[in-house]
Amino acid sequence: MENKVPDQQMIIASQKHYSEEGLWDKVKSVAKKAGIKVIYLALLLYYTATAESTPTAKKGIIYGALGYFILPIDLIPDVIPVAGFSDDLAALLACAAAVASCITPEIKQQAKDKLTEWFGEFDESQLDKLA
């Protein structure tokens, strides 16, 4: 199946769907199905957005991508096994690349610490290439 990347217009339109409560509800409900990489990127972007050092324009990009992640109906609906989160992963990856200069080692550690809290021990090497 082709990996579709949401366009910038769709991500910007998704900003209105972002809420912190919505993000945590989505993470809780899909964590095992979506996989550790998707959840890591969502956490990484959340912590980057809440960092005081992140410029407002970059926060807007992040909230758009997180809003897209929260939406249950998107390019590839999340209920489709395996492929359902591929568009979410693509949107989160594109966003992480766009705001990479704002993602500090401390933010990466914060996201990894949260993953350890939720999932227990995991192989961090599978996350190193993501951001």
Assign residue 120 a region (left: φ > 0; alpha: ψ between -120 and 50; beta: otherwise).
Answer: left
User: pTM of this prediction?
Assistant: 0.72
CB atoms within 10 A of CB 120: 7
Q: What is the tens place of the pLDDT at every residue in 54-106?
A: 999 999 999 999 988 887 666 556 555 556 677 788 889 999 999 999 999 99
Residue whose structure tokens are 């899909």: 30
What are the CA-CA distances from residue 107 to residues 62, 75, 85 (Å)? 14, 29, 23
Residue 99 is encoded by which pair of tokens? 């705001």
Alpha-carbon torsion 17, 23, 26, 32, what sign? positive
Between 3 and 117, name the one with better pLDDT. 117
Q: What is the tens place of the pLDDT at every residue in 15-41?
A: 677 787 777 777 766 666 667 888 899
Helix (H) or strand (E) holding 69: helix 56-70
